[in-house]
Structure 1
Amino acid sequence: MVKRISKADHDRITAAIRAAEAKTSGEIFCVLAKEVSTYRDIGLLWAAAAAFLLPLALIPFGFEPAWIPGMASGWDAAHLSARGTEISQALAAYALIQAAVFVMVYAALRLPPLRRVTTPKSVRRDRVRRAALHQFLAHGLHVTEERTGVLIFAALDDHRVEVIADKGIHARVDQSVWVDAVEALTSSLKDDRPAEGFEAAIGMVGAVLAEHFPPRPRNPNEIADRLVEI
């Protein structure tokens, strides 16, 4: 996966956008996001579930406070009045184990590979799409003259690519035409070839735009030709 985007890469991507837009009235914009969400809520849910369920596995083995150093004196209670103390110690020991499990699981799930595995694909897909839509709106791709803006969005930590087209394109182009562009960029990002991937995706998107939206006699550049990193 991509480690860095050099200035030369930025220049190549800018040149690819300009070349593509020379043949169309459409506008292309690119965004590369390191992460779109921390997914802390998902980590907390997994940690809470683990803290509740995993310690239960100790009960069939006769769990007792003495298993935890310092939680028991090592002496057996000889009379009934001491049972309350034993119960309190057992509950405290169990709560301590739950807390330790919670902290360890949550800390482990902060690692990107484990976070990806434990976060449902539907959740990652929705959050990447939401982040892409936010960037689409933030950079004004929805206010071009003919509503022909296209965003190429890549989320590194989530290993996902989104292409969002404005409604002027939606009305004339089926969304399946962007599949090849998504696959080309995804493959190149995986091989740490970001410039090549964006160039390929931009070329494919540009070809679709050129077919349906040729240049106008007055064809201003409405959106900056560049890649933004967030």
Structure 2
Amino acid sequence: MGFPLSAADRDSVGAAVTAAEAGTDGEILTIIAQRSDEYHDVAMIWAALAVLLVVALVAVDPAMLDAPIAWVTGGWGEAPGMAARLIVLLIAQGVVLGLMILLFRLARLRIALTPRGVRHARVRGRAIRYFKVGAERRTVARVGVLLYLSIDERLAEIVADEAIHTRVPDERWGDAMVALIDQVRAGRPADGMAAAVGAIGAIIAEHFPKTAADVNELPDRLIEL
């Protein structure tokens, strides 16, 4: 994890879930992941653009290929032909591609060069998949909520089951998201998760207050992926 979680961090999130659910029949599931995607496809797009840039530069000034040839031959011989220039161009493209591949082994660089809209869509997509597996239709009254945090992207998502979604508009989750992201940026993801859980619990308690028949249907503990 970018921010290592201690046992106390995990306990604080679990305790926040237990406390939030004490006032509502709703069930809150918390998941934290290092990242939601590896973005290798984005890295390949940037690498391809870099290789094409080499071609574009040569197209503007073909003579730039002559310098490496002159260095190898010592300046002797005839003017470089098309075949020699093509070989130099291919070598240059290979070097640039290799450098890009090495650079993009850094996950943080891949994420930094990924458009925010793409990052948001992939975090959202991963959150929905986790929700479908871990929370959707896992409660009798369809009152499950997933709070998902993706550390490297500094993005979070709240996904609610159908009963909650029909009563709580997406903008109501705004305060919970702000509380979470502010703490993540400060290096305290567990505190952010706990604060967001409290805000979520207060919202769903307005519509689904605690009843005597309620049972705990989803785990309170923080799930780390």
TM-score relative to the length of structure 2: 0.92
Deviations 1:115-148 (A, max 9, x none): 2332111211111011111111221343211111
Partner of 1:36: 36
**Counterparts of 2:191 and 2:70, CA distance in 1:** 58
User: Cα–Cα, structure 1 residues 168 and 100, in superposed 2: closer, same or farther, change >3 Å?
Assistant: same
User: Superposition RMSD on alpha carbons, in Å?
Assistant: 2.1
Partner of 1:67: 68
**Counterparts of 2:129 and 2:109, CA distance in 1:** 26
The aligned amino acid for 2:202 is A
The aligned amino acid for 1:200 is A
Contact 2:29/2:135 (CA < 8 Å) preserved in 1? no
Percent of residue pairs identical = 37
**Counterparts of 1:60 and 1:15, CA distance in 2:** 66
Partner of 1:192: 187
Equivalent residue for 1:102, pick from 80, 94, 97: 97
**Counterparts of 1:120 and 1:168, CA distance in 2:** 33
Following superposition, the deviation at residue 73 of structure 1 comes to 5.9
Deviations 1:40-76 (A, max 9, x none): 0110011011101234324527223541687546322
Partner of 1:77: 78
User: Cα–Cα, structure 1 residues 69 and 193, in superposed 2: closer, same or farther, change >3 Å?
Assistant: farther
Q: Name the SS of the counterpart of 2:158 in structure 1.
A: strand
Following superposition, the deviation at residue 170 of structure 1 comes to 1.0
Q: Name the SS of the counterpart of 2:64 in structure 1.
A: coil
Partner of 2:27: 27
- Structure 1 regions of 5+ residues with no counterpart? none
Contact 2:146/2:159 (CA < 8 Å) preserved in 1? yes
Between 217-226 and 116-125, report the one with greater CA deviation.
116-125
TM-score relative to the length of structure 1: 0.90
- Structure 2 regions of 5+ residues with no counterpart? none
Matched, 1:159 2:158: no
User: Cα–Cα, structure 1 residues 68 and 170, in superposed 2: closer, same or farther, change >3 Å?
Assistant: farther
User: Cα–Cα, structure 1 residues 118 and 110, in superposed 2: closer, same or farther, change >3 Å?
Assistant: same
**Counterparts of 1:69 and 1:225, CA distance in 2:** 70
Instruction: Could you list the structure 1 runs, at least 4 aligned residues long, displaced by more than 3 angstroms after superposition.
Output: 68-74
Q: What is the number of equivalent residue pairs in this alignment? A: 224
Deviations 1:162-216 (A, max 9, x none): 1111110111111101011111111111111122111110000000111100112
Contact 2:24/2:205 (CA < 8 Å) preserved in 1? yes
Partner of 1:126: 121
